[in-house]
Amino acid sequence: MTLQSNLLIALPELILAVSALLLLVLGAAAKRASPIFTAASVAALLSAAYVAATGHQGHAFGGGLVADNAAAFAKVAMYISSAVAIVLGDRWLARRGEARFEFHVLVILAALGMGMMVSAGDLISLYVGVELQSLALYVLAAFRRDDAKGSEAGLKYFVLGALSSGLLLYGASLIYGFAGSTKFHDIALVAQHGVNPGILFGLVFLICGLAFKVSAAPFHMWTPDVYEGAPTPVVGFFAAAPKLAAMVLFARALADGFPGAHAQWQQVLVVISLASVFVGAFAGLAQNNLKRLWAYSSIANVGYALLGLAAGGEQGLSAMLTFMVLYMVDVTGFFACLQALSRDGKPMETIEDMAGLFRERPMMATAMTVFSLSALGMPPFSGFWAKFYVFGAAMNAHSPIMTLAAILGLVGSVVAAFYYLRLIKVMWFDAAVGKTDALPFEARFVAYAAAAFSFPIVLGALHYLEPWAKAAAAAFGHA
């Protein structure tokens, strides 16, 4: 392919890279944040999303970068989510006198890394994408430098992230050593004749490294502390777009690189999936801080998404993609609620802080109730449809291990119902403990829009989302 063809395929990433560099130069010259940075960042992300959806498809740079329906599906969702995160985070920081242009640059760089992750065609681009995203997220976690909890969150994330990167790189090295290539297509050709122990060990290390990125148990230890310490809008960003990027990368690496080893990696994924579901369900019961509670909720939800990935096939992969997009909307809306709520300037972050919220802010309490019921999987909210697709794929896999995993996953969902219903009970029936501050417009708008999407808009949106997800899932396995 010519250089021009390669650049056209990589155009979404080029838009983000150039935008980040320009904003960095302009920010260094201006030495302060302004609404122009927010508008330019959002425009860059939406432009990249449009180009990803309508632009050229194919393989670029010797197969290292892949542009197909799966990459386009993920990029559109991730870049829109990143744009929402910039708007929410910029206003949240501005109200605290901490607005800095670096926030916009870091979110764009994280989105650039996510774009490379979902378009990875070999182990090298996989690693570069993961590290580009991770380094930006480490800094975002500790963005409030004078906040002790935030600094601790960033440090823990960095140290444990370095460990996961080591696992990822060691697994990639083993795979390269025994397969003789870093490209998923070549690895798949080697693996289709039987997976030798060296490649299998490398695959396990690769799965462990990626499991850390999606905060799946038992590689979840960073999640509650980072969620609690990082700025609330940053946590809302963490819980949405990067999770989708890592799940698509998971699917890309396994379905493109190891389709012939499905029986081997399915067993590993089922164990990680069930561990995530039960860790999220039981550990969440003891939480009082809502950010920590939603951290364990995200661990459990990643477990459900991994169940769809483990089921394999177009139905399983489509279910995983649908689940992640619906979950992204819910979790973004919930953290928009959290960042909107405060009393006397103090954030409302515990379950007790939400006491009597329905009497003071009925619309906000209703939105949080919708997100809680959706995360629980209560029909007819979007979370129910997300789990419906995942459990349906697991049951239709015609595998005893997948059927058992689906049943155990349902049990874990019932256990987790306690902490969601507890929050609803406190908001609707307990006595209020004080007056809430005025709700910022942007957070209120995102929260209400996400709640409306969860129900009833989702019923119509699924008519379009399901075929898009199926088309994206069909792109896997063709490295």
360-395 residue pLDDT tens: 889 999 999 999 999 988 888 999 999 999 999 999
Report, as an integer, the average pLDDT of 283-308: 91
Spatial distance between the Cα atoms of 356 and 373, rounded to a whole number of angstroms: 18
- 347's enclosing H/E stretch is strand 346-347
Which tokens go with 156?
């823990």
The per-residue pLDDT for range 308-330, each reduced to its tens digit, is: 999 888 899 999 999 999 999 99
| DSSP letters spanning 131-148 | HHHHHHHHHHHT-STT-H
pLDDT of 42 over the 90 cut: yes
The per-residue pLDDT for range 122-166, each reduced to its tens digit, is: 999 999 999 999 999 999 988 887 777 878 888 888 888 888 888
Q: For residue 56, what pLDDT band results from cuts at 50, 70 and 90?
A: confident
Closest CA to 142 of 226, 222, 233, 82: 226
Spatial distance between the Cα atoms of 172 and 367, rounded to a whole number of angstroms: 43
Percent of the chain whose predicted confidence (pLDDT) is above 90: 46
Query: What pLDDT does residue 72 have?
Result: 93
Q: For residue 48, what pLDDT band results from cuts at 50, 70 and 90?
A: very high
Residue 347 bridge partners (DSSP) = 342
The per-residue pLDDT for range 419-449, each reduced to its tens digit, is: 899 999 999 988 877 788 888 888 899 999 9
Whole-model pTM: value is: 0.94
Q: Please check whether residue 227 is in contact with residue 335, taking contact to mean a CB–CB distance below 8 angstroms.
A: no
The conformation of residue 220, written as its DSSP 8-state character, comes to -
Query: What pLDDT does residue 479 have?
Result: 53
Closest CA to 296 of 419, 152, 137: 419
Which amino acid type is present at position 322?
Answer: T
Q: Please check whether residue 242 is in contact with residue 195, taking contact to mean a CB–CB distance below 8 angstroms.
A: no
The per-residue pLDDT for range 61-104, each reduced to its tens digit, is: 888 888 889 999 999 999 999 999 999 998 888 888 877 888 99
CB burial class (10 A; 0-12, 13-18, 19+) of residue 255? buried
| DSSP letters spanning 280-335 | HHHHHTT--BHHHHHHHHHHHHHHHHHHHHHH-HHHHHHHHHHHHHHHHHHHHHHH
Percent of the chain whose predicted confidence (pLDDT) is above 70: 99
Spatial distance between the Cα atoms of 448 and 71, rounded to a whole number of angstroms: 29
The per-residue pLDDT for range 391-402, each reduced to its tens digit, is: 999 998 888 888
Q: Please check whether residue 347 is in contact with residue 437, taking contact to mean a CB–CB distance below 8 angstroms.
A: no
Spatial distance between the Cα atoms of 452 and 333, rounded to a whole number of angstroms: 10
Q: For residue 345, what pLDDT band results from cuts at 50, 70 and 90?
A: confident
Q: How far is CA 257 from CA 180, 261, 264, 287, in A?
A: 13, 9, 13, 39
Spatial distance between the Cα atoms of 111 and 193, rounded to a whole number of angstroms: 37
Which tokens go with 340?
């909107």
Q: Please check whether residue 118 is in contact with residue 52, taking contact to mean a CB–CB distance below 8 angstroms.
A: no
Spatial distance between the Cα atoms of 183 and 93, rounded to a whole number of angstroms: 42
Spatial distance between the Cα atoms of 185 and 206, rounded to a whole number of angstroms: 17
Task: Show the beta-strand stretches assigned E in 39-181.
Answer: 58-60, 65-67
Query: What pLDDT does residue 399 have?
Result: 85
Q: Please check whether residue 70 is in contact with residue 472, taking contact to mean a CB–CB distance below 8 angstroms.
A: yes
Spatial distance between the Cα atoms of 309 and 298, rounded to a whole number of angstroms: 16
Spatial distance between the Cα atoms of 325 and 472, rounded to a whole number of angstroms: 13
- Sequence-separated (6 or more) residues with CB below 8 Å from residue 422: 351
